[in-house]
Structure 1
């Protein structure tokens, strides 16, 4: 049976493989002996993220949009394709919803044809602006279905529905992870996410833009920890479907994050406060009991350590721009 506790000698499809998280996942799978097909339409992904992998004979990069069917032969599928930052997913909200929904339908159809295991990268955004804190997987969320973030939030919620209906109706082996705020090298400088935005502003000496009063909270997971978790989830037995929260349970205010970044960059940037965007969550922190119990996993990289690695990456990146 493929994927029995190992990726070695298996062919794995990663959609969104040239993206921030996807490129790190491709690296990990190759390091564990898998053959990797990376699919991306480069709407937010970048060939620069996978350039160092192109010479590997076990790696193949394919330009493709998952809203169209794909016909390949693989043992397992990681479905990560979808713009994940508000700036990007609000640029073309109809396409964002189509990527989540049509993309899920096409990848589930491929998995069904092949009898392959399939992973869905869902998101903490399915909880919306939560009324329960921290957020357990059993919480149904508090989501605006017609707001400016709905293309992403509801698209991901619908994708989860499709995955669980394929599991119930077709006994398809599925894995669903709800990914909380993740950061690290290969984030895009202009993606509008709080970590990348603050770092770029601090390195340039520009004012750091804090939306709201800065007291809203987030938990930040370093990308290496995140990839370790989803790789472990895919190798669990078929009784483990998820959804499983994956993230870091250490909680910080946005103001605390900004002050750490100013300190680590030795920046003279000052904080500038602006009104909160529509439907911006006031707090976000995962309940990780399931991840610890089912995956024997918990994050290892502290925020200070991860920020220093990420800042070093952005220093190099900004020198090239």
Structure 2
């Protein structure tokens, strides 16, 4: 069955890949994006597709969102402030974008009972040391005086709001907590480490590793992530649920830099940069971020198919197409 789908933040990295996947599956897709972090370039290849449309506007525009929601069957809410650098530099924008836009989307969807998938983040686990992170685990936030945690807190509020709409108003909502999604089209502009490292290596620049480089992450391929999103929304039994989406292949940032240098055949060096230099005094980071993906595997049989080597190969191949001839 073909659905009419709205993707907020649809010109972003993940949103554009989700558009590709849903169109390939036969759905009609409309995206809304204010291009604050997304880019027309990400969806240019779709502009002439007969089942694709787009609106350049903010999800804060309640009238526009109401009209678009009215015309679709399902909403994927991906629009958000993203990237550590953006969060540190623009905490007001981060909080306002994440909380206000989510309220607008959920309120309009509730009026017409349109199911919503909310894209959240592993950042909500905060400083928890209960690894691997489970969806029912405690969230441990840092102090409000540390702007680093404004993103995590705003996304946690988004989750509470989405789940409240399900519990109180029976709006079908599903929350996915994404763990470091990477792949082609991702910008390194706001601190995303994989494209930043790959572009640096291809340019033979030194790669800057913040802190001691011992902090570890699990990187998931965007194609695996959007497959999980689509599968969750195709099954109406998961309303009111939260799911981790990511891989359990853990790598330190220093090891990542080494692997990017190897994958690109670069002669780039690797240098350490103190957090204070990169983000200012008092910046706090998570040492490890590893998901427990048991819940989504048992719910829909999902598991990642692409490992870090494949991710790096795909990102390197994409970034090479962007190099000047």
Shorter-chain TM band = over 0.9
- Deviation per CA, 1:12-58: give whole Å up to 9, x if none: 10000000000000111111111111000000000000000000121
Gaps in structure 1 of 5+ consecutive residues: 1-7
Determine the structure 2 residue equivalent to 1:4: none
> What does residue range 1-321 of structure 1 map to in structure 2 within 5 Å?
8-69=1-62, 70-71=65-66, 72=68, 73-146=71-144, 147-276=146-275, 277=279, 278-319=283-324
Which structure is higher in helix share?
Answer: 2
Q: Which 4+ runs in 1 deviate beyond 4 A?
A: none
Once the 2 structures are TM-superposed, how far is the Cα of residue 233 of structure 1 from its aligned partner?
1.1
Question: What is the distance in 2 between the residues matched to 1:122 and 1:298?
Answer: 19
Asked whether the equivalents of residues 174 and 238 of structure 1 are also in contact (C-alpha less than 8 Å), the reply is no
Shift of 1:238: 3.5
- Cα distance in 1 for partners of 2:79, 2:189 equals 19
**Helix, strand or coil: the match of 1:141?**
coil
TM-aligned CA deviation for residue 239 of structure 1: 4.3
Q: Deviations over 1:251-306 (max 9, x none)?
A: 11111111110001111111111123512110011000001100210001011111
CA distance in 2: counterparts of 1:149 and 1:36, whole angstroms: 34
C-alpha distance in 2, partners of 1:98/1:145? 19
Tell me how far apart the structure 1 counterparts of residues 298 and 312 of structure 2 sit (CA, whole Å). 28
Deviates most, 167-176 or 184-193: 184-193
Distance 1:95 1:191 in 2: 14
CA distance in structure 2 between the partners assigned to 1:35 and 1:114 by the alignment: 18
TM-score (norm 2): 0.93
TM-score normalised over the length of structure 1: 0.94
- Give the C-alpha shift of residue 240 in structure 1: 4.1
Gaps of 5+ in 2: none
1:205-237: CA deviation from partner (whole Å, max 9, x where unpaired) = 111101111111100001101111111111122
Conserved? CA contact 2:81–2:98, under 8 Å: no
Partner Cα distance (1:318, 1:137) in 2: 41
Q: Determine the C-alpha separation between the residues in 1 that align with 2:323 and 2:140.
A: 38
RMSD: 1.3
Provide, for residues 62-88 of structure 1, a one-character-per-residue CA deviation record: whole Å limited to 9, x for no partner: 011112211222111000001221123
- The DSSP-based 3-state class of the residue aligned with 2:147 is coil
Q: Quick one: distance in 2 between partners of 1:59 and 1:14?
A: 11
Contact 2:174–2:238 under 8 Å retained in 1 = no
Aligned counterparts of 1:256 and 1:220: Cα–Cα separation in 2: 13
State the Cα distance separating 1:151 from its structure 2 match: 2.7
Q: Deviations over 1:130-155 (max 9, x none)?
A: 21111111112221252222331111
Moved more, 37-46 or 94-103: 94-103
- Distance in 2 separating the partners of 1:207 and 1:44: 26
Separation in 2, partners of 1:112, 1:94: 27
Alignment partners' CA distance in 1, 2:239 and 2:164: 15
